[in-house]
Amino acid sequence: MSGIVAAHGPFDPRMGERMLQRLAHRGPDGEGSKALPDAWLGHRHLAVVDPEAAQPLHDPAGRMWLVGDGFVSNHRRLREELGDDGWRTRSDHEVALRLFAQEGVDGLDRLWGTFALAIAGDDGSFAVVRDTLGVVPLYWARRDATTLFASELKAFDEDWRPYVEPFPPGHAWTAADGLHAWRRPPASARVLLRGRAHDDPPAWVFDAVRDAVVRAVDQAMVAQVPVGAFLSGGLDSSIVAAVAAQRSKEPLKTFAAGLQDSADLQAARLVAEHVGTDHRERVYTPEEAIDLVPEVIGVLESFDPLLVHSAVPNHLVAKLASEHVKVVLIGEGADELFAGYSHLSEIEDSDELQQELLDTLSGLHIGGLQRVDRVMSANGLEPRIPFLDLDVVDLAFALPPAWKLSDGDRPEKWLLRRAFEGWLPDEVLWRPKEQFGQGTGMDVVLREHFGAQVTEEDLERERDVLDPPVRTREELAYHRIFARHLPGIDANRTVGRFVEA
């Protein structure tokens, strides 16, 4: 990941430089900015695809400029279609600049991947777009005649923070037309096959799922820098690691973290040995985890307990990984596609399950994806998420939701498990789902410690600081830390909270 700042309208470049400084962790490889007549663009650079392609990028005439975060996965094919002339870099983002110059925002619909882009020209043109799922973060604020964008909440000056909110995924903002839907939302997915709950899908369905994931992993491994994988020991990261290990020319580097003898560490060791990775661990103590929480909440920009539980071991394993690689493969997204969460197993109606999955996927950008982005970026890493490749997403939602229902004979994500039979040890392939914080031992440690920092009287007195109200003493303890790190931010506008605390 990189860090971007963009402004349209009256703007003090000194504010832009302050904002970029607060995003330095997202781009340790360089900084750049460009002032235009009615716009300002700033960038912190993490070199992954083209280490020499510092941003802002510009066209050959120097009249149009771009800053971006994320990865355009089909950039090689687009370069071939657009011709060989005029390219200045190998950057995947340069294709976006060329398409915008030729076709405007509509041309960017040809991009496939996960990204947030801001483009400005000396002719007054200005556009910002964010990918369909919101994998790449983007926030914005509108005040008087100025519209301001940045990758993280902490980038904004304090007097701007009350106006900040997430920029909606799948949308564009242009100086000419304002905010509008730019690409179809995932909720437009349609079921293209018929199937009943207890049907056994034909063999080609499992082949299609497996092939789509393998292609997505292949695409996610494209980089000019070392690539590794997080291996939590759960099903999703284990599948990604198994595929990547098979496709890698050298032993794949994998990374895990947990308390001594935690279930996740044990399962990760088993998978690493089975698929032959170069595996490393970060074993930590409960005391280390507790001490790390204030830092993690500042990095995470959230106080949701489930996110905090998982972000602590994520932060530790990311520090370890950053010593060896610059890109990491992550298993996020499979639960939303194949019904992996425990509460989904209680749903018996296929249409209800489909809608719940779509709703959950639509909220990922202020949930699990926020954790992935912030923790990785704080450690100078770029995450790649194969399960959220749009081809995989489209296929998953084209399958009958009845096939994703679970019961006594079919555990959660049974369809995905069947697709990868033989790739993993059975005790991992069919291991029951655990939240990352549970498998690492984090949830109990943190809930007990931070819950004890707040009394029931405190909770009763302060619960209405949020809407819906604060749910637990632990959540209130985290909210207090959040407010110290991000004064002025309206949490009701910016922070996603899971149903269960």
Residue 436 binned pLDDT confidence (cut-offs 50, 70, 90): very low
Cis bond before residue 432 (omega within 30° of 0): no
What digits encode the pLDDT tens for the residues 309-325?
999 999 999 999 999 99
To the nearest whole percent, how much of the chain has pLDDT over 70?
94
Which tokens is 221 given? 């491994």
List, in order, residues 6 or more apart from 306 with CB less than 8 Å away.
435, 437, 498, 500, 501
Helix axes 473-485, 286-300, angle to 10 degrees: 50
pLDDT at 192: 67
Which tokens is 352 given? 């209800």
Ranking 91-105, 278-292, 424-438 by mean pLDDT, the lowest is: 424-438
pLDDT at 435 over 60: no
Mean pLDDT across the chain, nearest whole number?
91
Alpha-carbon gap, residue 208 to 202, rounded angstroms = 10
Where do the structural domains in the chain lie, given as residue ranges?
A: 3-181, 187-494
Alpha-carbon gap, residue 298 to 47, rounded angstroms = 24
Pair 5, 41: CB distance under 8 Å: yes
Query: What residue type is 384 in one-letter code?
Result: R
Q: Which of 378, 377, 395 is nearest to 386 (CA)?
A: 395
pLDDT at 190: 65
Alpha-carbon gap, residue 140 to 185, rounded angstroms = 20
Which tokens is 6 given? 């963009």
Helix axes 286-300, 442-451, angle to 10 degrees: 80
pLDDT at 437: 47
Vertex 132 angle, CA 360 and 493, to 5°: 60
What digits encode the pLDDT tens for the residues 111-140?
988 999 999 999 999 999 999 999 999 999
For residue 71, what are the β-bridge partners?
A: 114
Q: Which of 116, 93, 107 is nearest to 167 (CA)?
A: 116
Alpha-carbon gap, residue 447 to 435, rounded angstroms = 14
Alpha-carbon gap, residue 247 to 277, rounded angstroms = 12
pLDDT at 440: 58
Report which DSSP code applies to 326.
S
Fold classification of 3-181 (topology level): Glutamine Phosphoribosylpyrophosphate, subunit 1, domain 1 (3.60.20)
Which tokens is 293 given? 């929480």
Alpha-carbon gap, residue 373 to 369, rounded angstroms = 6
Alpha-carbon gap, residue 382 to 73, rounded angstroms = 14
Fold classification of 187-494 (topology level): Rossmann fold (3.40.50)
Q: Is 488 left (phi over 0), alpha (psi -120 to 50) or beta?
A: left
Residue 27 binned pLDDT confidence (cut-offs 50, 70, 90): confident
- Do β-strands 113-121 and 139-143 pair in parallel, antiparallel, or remain unpaired? unpaired
The residue-averaged pLDDT of 239-268 equals 94
Q: Which of 397, 416, 404 is nearest to 191 (CA)?
A: 397
pTM summary value: 0.92
